[in-house]
Structure 1
Amino acid sequence: MTLLHHGRAAPRLAALLVGLFAAALALATPVSAANLFEDLGGKEGIVRIVNDGVDRVLADSRIKGRFVDTDIKRLKSQLAEQFCHISGGPCVYAGRSMEQAHAGLTLRNAEFNALAEDFQAAMEQQNIPFTVQNRLIALLAPMQRTVVGQ
């Protein structure tokens, strides 16, 4: 005998579960992407974050060696375009897929995490609130699976 099949508790339990599920979805769903773009400071804010983030990466002894032969101006441009696009801005990312861009690099989790830390520090430097940082990171984090170990 279970509560879901007998007695008055079943409808209340079902309603409670539906309510909890809806609340969890509401908490997990980020504010609209357009707001994220604006919360990052629009295109200009994103460019500042990317420029500072890449500069930090290039100074980071843990990963700077990975960028020795990289066209830094192009990298900054592509990252700004990508961040603008995924945050709901008016940009269209026209660069290579993450798999293509990182093919043959055999990146490690530690390197991915170092880059993420450098960009988080760049957002802190630009006074981006922690909650806004997390919203952008939540959009970028799934890329780890497509770049690490390629």
Structure 2
Amino acid sequence: MAWLWWLGGALVLGVVEMLTVDLIFLMFAGGALAGGGVALLGGPLWAQIAAFAVVSTVLLVAVRPWAIGYLKRSTPDTVTNVAAHVGRTAEVLMDVTDRAGRVKLVGEVWTARTAEPGTVLPTGTTVQVVRIDGATAIVAPVPVTYPE
């Protein structure tokens, strides 16, 4: 009957792992499964706890670093939030200077400034976001490319 407790603990640890995605609780779940296996074979409580501790430690020390490295290599980096706006183009709605202006960026109106002091970008110009400074888009003229 004790193996059911270990199985329940492994399931709970698995659910916690799905919420954290840190691969720590998954290793403890593996240890809980080992403890449950010892309990299923009729082992005493001290052997169940020892199996849990040993398997969890081995998984944490040996398997987790490898698994994290594999996940980092196989999962593409996704730029989100304001960092995703850097490099996008925007349309100037009000003349943009080094002090003020407005641009339409991905359907939203942003306060904008030019990256170079003294530059004025007129209304209707297409610009490129160089960086985001707080809630202000720092923009520069889109580089002109000529067909070869």
How high is the TM-score relative to the length of structure 2?
0.24
TM-score, length of structure 1 as denominator length: 0.24
Report 1 or 2 for greater relative contact order, CA contacts < 8 Å, sequence distance ≥ 6: 1
Q: Which has the larger radius of gyration?
A: 2
